[in-house]
Chain A
């Protein structure tokens, strides 16, 4: 094997070593509004349980194109499976009711805590591929804790329209389970502060409209996961969402919604370490990681990511072995963006219990990708000057970087513990 061919094989290998892992579905889902989400509720204590499930088979790349998870190097059918259970407690009341503080004494306040547990797992061949990098294909456990407080605005009436606004600020406490070796995590390991303005309107008592705009300030993540493929400096994000519901009867509602979110500027990566666990790498490794699962005959890369690796090269692994070492960064992506269309039905039972089923389908998106530079060396850890460099376009992973292109399903139960 010539050195040139070997480097070409390495380049191909790197281009395909990392699959398009999906996001941990947290903040983008937690705040998607529901029927009367921002309406003024009677004072009391509410509990909500939401179950969200998805099988992510595609995500968006940096150009906004859909990419099959792992394609074309693992068989169709593998995915990222995720389940998210949300537990929300909402208090509505007025602690200033008997005070003389203007505005506060006649506008109700609310506080909400949101905890979660999650399951996020890459399946089949995708999971097997993750192990090549001594990483874990998934992670389960508690998610981050969200705490928010806010105040309702005044209620206004104009003909058939009844409306109110609210202001709230959410803080995301990064206490969720976070494994730096995992491709997926239920926690994010960075703080977020999210002020939001929202409104609720009812038209003719039949149409319920809820909307919000929010800005998400994100802290840094000093311990990126999955070999540094979660960003260390997370871009701030803004959200705009609206939900329109129609009341068929006192019990039944149907709603559709739309949400948009986009970062302001790029995510930045400063600590990239992702690499094969077992080195040196032989050309056989290149074949295993380009042809495996597709064909054993070679020339089956499937898409034009780079040169193919003829099988005869793979059959001679005793020569031309290499060590790879990534340059840590910094790297920057093009930012991420996502839009969602939601549709659901709700059943209200005795004004104290709501059961809702909903589906959310991504409409468009843009995920995070960075071009990582790898040194190609003759010694382990590249203790000697590299003989060459290869560049590989890798996907950013998890909450801040990956944007799912697959639908998710939601089942929600709201329960009023103590009647007001």
Chain B
């Protein structure tokens, strides 16, 4: 019994996708664990060399608007600190005292690069400095955003000291993601998003048959404004809010071995781009005397939103009584990236002050299908994740005497 309980206590709880490598949904994430502190580390790699374009077609580059191949390879490591605990039992506070709660902290580190055609554009110093296209960068590495969550089990966690089984549970989880992640204004791919977001989700746990564990959830995430949109403001200044969902089913094959399959996805509303400074796929200015230049027409532009659906497989092995090792593979099935059309102005003479005498501005046409950067990119490449969790279990502040959770 003790061994079984510890196994269950060691089940991972990585619930919310985070920016630096969308987290894979692990088994037991909606299960009310026995009160304890759990720490988990994950590492993931994603070549991010393919995307779904705005029409939903898979493209063999991360930047369909540019000739040649572009990729944004990323390696992530993440630490997840998870507490499960009762609250206000002695005071018998309604709602809080009769169930378990969870608090979670997610913090990671990511290395991102830009390779290929877009990197060549970034390195081209002949662009007009007035568009901020002269000081672009291709690497951005460091800490990722900080996510804090608090949740309560609406069902399935009562009588947690004596309960012998948990056939089902329902978790309400609320969280905030703080933009502490590294975010280079001149870099198209970053570990952080530079925008605060709030999310709320419902998660269901069920045990449909012996040794099987079903987790499913859905939620909604609201993003605040990004005050410093990256890469010439080609990243959204206002990211569209997300609806996200996940489902997983895991089956025990041996006492220490589980295998599972999962699917997850998100549907993002329209992204807004504010006063983009350039478009990598813009046409050169017309040849005139005196010389002309061109620039994007200031304004607010929208894409048609983003979408991603993934499927994947996981394997879990328990090492001793406190360690749990997981290996996960996620493969995008379908999706849609953000693209928008950007009108241009021609200006003659080049660099003149718009509105001043002698400064002539004419319609410069519209650049079609400008690739939105950052969260507007929806990648079609596979992601590998390795996870390792430690259960601090008995050493925490909550006594385990009489516990019977399985």
Q: Chain B: how many interface residues by the 8 Å CB criterion?
A: 36
Q: A49-B105, A118-B180 are in contact. Are A138 and B357 (CB under 8 A)?
A: no
Q: Chain A: how many interface residues by the 8 Å CB criterion?
A: 41
Q: Is A211 an interface residue (CB 8 A)?
A: no
Q: Is the CB of A141 within 8 A of B142?
A: yes
Q: Is A69 an interface residue (CB 8 A)?
A: no
- Residues 223-250 of chain B: 1 if any A CB is under 8 Å from the residue's CB, otherwise 0? 0010110000000000000000000000
- Residues 168-191 of chain B: 1 if any A CB is under 8 Å from the residue's CB, otherwise 0? 000000000011111101000000
CB distance from B264 to the nearest CB of A (A): 26
- Residues 117-142 of chain B: 1 if any A CB is under 8 Å from the residue's CB, otherwise 0? 00000000000011010010000001
Q: With the chains together, A140 CA to B190 CA distance in Å?
A: 11
Q: Is the CB of B146 within 8 A of A318?
A: no
Q: Is the CB of A119 within 8 A of B180?
A: yes
In the complex, chain B residues whose CB is within 8 Å of the CB of A81: 227
Q: Is the CB of B227 within 8 A of A417?
A: no
CB distance from A355 to the nearest CB of B (A): 10
Q: Which of B132, B178, B392 contacts A119, CB < 8 Å?
A: B178
In the complex, chain A residues whose CB is within 8 Å of the CB of B179: 83, 119, 121, 140
Q: A123-B227, A141-B180 are in contact. Are A318 and B142 (CB under 8 A)?
A: no
Q: With the chains together, A375 CA to B392 CA distance in Å?
A: 64
Q: With the chains together, A123 CA to B179 CA distance in Å?
A: 14
The dominant DSSP class at the B interface is loop
Q: Is the CB of B180 within 8 A of A350?
A: no
Q: Is the CB of B182 within 8 A of A417?
A: no
Q: Is A352 an interface residue (CB 8 A)?
A: yes
B residues 132-167 near A (Cβ < 8 Å) are 132, 135, 142-143, 146, 148
CB distance from A306 to the nearest CB of B (A): 22
Q: Is the CB of A121 within 8 A of B129?
A: no
In the complex, chain A residues whose CB is within 8 Å of the CB of B194: 119, 121, 138, 140
Q: A142-B143, A284-B353 are in contact. Are A137 and B227 (CB under 8 A)?
A: yes
- Residues 115-137 of chain A: 1 if any B CB is under 8 Å from the residue's CB, otherwise 0? 00111011110010001001011
In the complex, chain A residues whose CB is within 8 Å of the CB of B83: 415
Interface residues of A (CB under 8 A from B): 49, 51, 81, 83, 85, 117-119, 121-124, 127, 131, 134, 136-138, 140-142, 177, 277-278, 282, 284, 315-318, 349-353, 413, 415-419
Q: What are 17 A-B pairs at a CB distance below 8 A?
A: A49-B105, A83-B146, A83-B196, A136-B228, A137-B227, A137-B228, A140-B182, A140-B192, A177-B142, A278-B130, A284-B356, A318-B358, A352-B397, A353-B397, A415-B397, A417-B37, A417-B392
Known: A140-B182, A141-B181, A278-B129. 4 other contacts (CB 8 A): A119-B180, A121-B228, A284-B353, A316-B356
